Structure 1
């Protein structure tokens, strides 16, 4: 799969668009699809801001990128499944636009840059779809809500809107070496950013200061996009799972929870670290941190191809229960606490999710209607295949909104010591998150960001 040292060597090659197209086509055929069919995809359109002549921020459609490696807006592609021919259509040169924006990518440059067989301009899309290669006996595969009004599929015997999207979503789960190299690179840059935030932590006056250091560190390394909106949560704000304000003043909060990662060429990193802003844990926050770190260590150690993710998630709950019993926050039998699902009050989310072009990547088959509260928010269900990348992000949170209903329910409250719990509200939340590549024999951790107690404390104090 490639090592951390040589990801730059792998990235000197081309994004493997043709291999991805072949993989998707094989999935479609395996589901009874037409082996002489055509795959059709469109890039995201360029748009202006409403009531404005400025362009809206652009984010490429991931389905299109997976089969093209092309980050240009207003583009199209076809893949002829019978001949394995991948054709990319890019916008033509518009002289009026050149005045303002410079020369766009040419057909020749695109042919050199992308792993495709042919490059044409977008003016030729419909004539290409109507050409003799589009057999009257074959099927075109497309995503219904991603087809422009001026595109016609009249030359095809059948249009199939059902198979292409699930085909790509499933194929994206297992990554090629090139994709893994992109995730490695995003992790390497995000790690520098996380360490820089640790060093700057004691001087911060506001959560925005942490976010600014993180984004600056990424920009300096030419990572111009964040994979998601960062969670920069000090003290009790860390109890909100997807906290987004990132603007509270730093006063006497003990912990910072920083969930942040950059994106490289449409591929994500997703890293969370929690640590003391001043460099010194309180007794309560250190107790919780050690439990979460143990949850993460044991769950990562359990990973290999074929392991049932549901079981690893349950393991995290068992370790959380054991730790919270030792601290006295929980009381009673560990077995009964697990059965009653009382631990969900402190660890309400899933252990992790697939990672790739999306932070919460495709193919996880969650069941958000599950009546079992322990598994309801688990974004991945079932066995993990080799080549998949999954986040392992256990956490323990002290969120009044979540915990108070448990305290009001006698069947749950009997397992919680309210007196001990009272000392822990100020901890807020602790989460530790790494990105793990699943292999046949085990796993590889793609996230080199420091997380051991002494390591983190030393970095903060060195700043």
Structure 2
């Protein structure tokens, strides 16, 4: 069997989760672990529900992302159980019978109404660590989310099992295929909405299935970090295209960003190439023992070096960093943990017992402050942008002489550049999960 086949990798993954659950329960002083899959949320004063998002702790154990009102039940020393809702329902598609690589490892009990789960849950409820949202409560079984258990489980989630990495590779391939389709649409003259549709069609996932709302930005829209408006008509002239879009597989996310220039011979394309080369060096820096905060600061210096090479900056990278000028051009963090959630948990965790590691002063948007260790998967997404309100702040703060404003005006119509890959930290060289997916 293929070593990357999740069927062969799942038993060890499950053994790892059971061992972690044993320790989490010991720390929190509970006898049983209960994880509800989640319940639908309904819009205010309406009977329409929001797109369902499964409890990430539930999909950590099971490759199920669409089943509501179901439960994972685990007691140390016992075979784990799944209480699986398969309702009598003619309003919605009923989940198919439990199947797949996970079924043989669980006792599965099918229920027809959410309330039928109640007698199948171990008691008393006070002896259970229940991880989930408040609206998942059933009788006395109200999610209590004990901190000692969550601190431990979230910290351990940073270390991906081979099973998890295999699923993330599939998500990477799906997303890379869709990114290529989006670039083709851009070069054919499509507008933002149609590029977005081309992406979703190629990914075979709609807006409720991709792991986050697609960022599809032409021209100056690339200067809006989370641009999601999607103009319906193409601009008079498309100069640049920034796309930040992912895909999901069995609950695991890919998060990829690329930037393109319409004119491959332009200075903007040359700047894209320079950022791409710098980003690959940053990806190679994902090594065990490296402080992610230092990677972020080093990224500022590398990016400011690019701006100096292109005549945008008149001061050294070190001076731009010290005065805050660099933050006007690179205003977000270098990246974040990724896995079951796009911005995965424990990016700031000091230990498996709680506490946080602070961000570097002057860098409020960094989402990862830990020292890298084998098994962690992080994004590396440096960016350079020409954002009017931030550039105005440079002037107001007395640093206008640090910038060649005529050169800024040349790049302003292009919006910005961001390049993002997902990278696995190993015991040796970094493994970029994203680049092979584009090469395949």
- TM-score, normalised by the number of residues in structure 2: 0.86
Give CA-to-partner distance per residue, 1:186-208, whole Å, 9 cap, x none: 11111111112222322224111
Distance 1:111 1:79, change over 3 A: farther
Structure 1 equivalent of residue 6 of structure 2: 10
State the alpha-carbon separation in 2 of the partners of residues 112 and 297 from structure 1: 36
State the alpha-carbon separation in 2 of the partners of residues 268 and 422 from structure 1: 37
CA shift for structure 1 position 334: 3.3
SS of 2:74 mapped into structure 1: strand
CA shift for structure 1 position 227: 1.4
Distance 1:347 1:449, change over 3 A: farther
Alignment partner of 2:134 out of 133, 137, 146: 146
State the alpha-carbon separation in 1 of the partners of residues 115 and 316 from structure 2: 70
Whether contact under 8 Å (1:390, 1:436) holds in the other structure is yes
Structure 1 equivalent of residue 353 of structure 2: none
CA shift for structure 1 position 219: 1.1
- 1:429 corresponds to 2:416: yes
Distance 1:18 1:297, change over 3 A: closer
Whether contact under 8 Å (2:358, 2:369) holds in the other structure is no
* Map 1:39-438 → 2, pairs under 5 A: 39-46=33-40, 56-71=50-65, 72-81=67-76, 83-94=77-88, 97=89, 104-106=95-97, 109=98, 113-114=102-103, 116-120=105-109, 121=111, 123=115, 125-129=117-121, 139-143=127-131, 145-146=133-134, 148-152=136-140, 161-219=146-204, 225-247=209-231, 249-277=234-262, 279-283=263-267, 285-365=268-348, 372-373=361-362, 375-410=363-398, 412-438=399-425
Which ranges of structure 2 fall in alignment gaps of 5 or more residues? 350-355
CA shift for structure 1 position 215: 0.7
State the alpha-carbon separation in 1 of the partners of residues 375 and 332 from structure 2: 24
Which ranges of structure 1 fall in alignment gaps of 5 or more residues? 456-463
SS of 2:83 mapped into structure 1: strand
- TM-score, normalised by the number of residues in structure 1: 0.82
Distance 1:52 1:405, change over 3 A: closer
CA shift for structure 1 position 271: 0.7
Whether contact under 8 Å (1:70, 1:114) holds in the other structure is no
State the alpha-carbon separation in 2 of the partners of residues 449 and 214 from structure 1: 19
Report the more deviating stretch, 252-261 or 229-238.
252-261
CA radius of gyration, larger in:
1
State the alpha-carbon separation in 2 of the partners of residues 102 and 419 from structure 1: 58
Whether contact under 8 Å (1:110, 1:119) holds in the other structure is no
CA shift for structure 1 position 317: 0.9
State the alpha-carbon separation in 1 of the partners of residues 370 and 166 from structure 2: 26
Whether contact under 8 Å (1:291, 1:319) holds in the other structure is no
Distance 1:290 1:167, change over 3 A: same
CA shift for structure 1 position 436: 0.5
- The two structures, once aligned, show a CA RMSD in angstroms of 3.2
Whether contact under 8 Å (2:357, 2:369) holds in the other structure is no
Whether contact under 8 Å (1:223, 1:262) holds in the other structure is no
Structure 2 equivalent of residue 461 of structure 1: none
Whether contact under 8 Å (2:155, 2:345) holds in the other structure is yes
Structure 2 equivalent of residue 459 of structure 1: none
State the alpha-carbon separation in 2 of the partners of residues 130 and 337 from structure 1: 59
Report the more deviating stretch, 199-208 or 305-314.
199-208
Number of residue pairs matched?
A: 427
SS of 1:169 mapped into structure 2: helix
CA shift for structure 1 position 178: 1.4
Distance 1:317 1:148, change over 3 A: closer
State the alpha-carbon separation in 1 of the partners of residues 223 and 431 from structure 2: 29
Structure 2 equivalent of residue 458 of structure 1: none
Distance 1:230 1:11, change over 3 A: farther
- 1:441 corresponds to 2:434: no
Whether contact under 8 Å (1:204, 1:210) holds in the other structure is no
Whether contact under 8 Å (1:42, 1:146) holds in the other structure is no
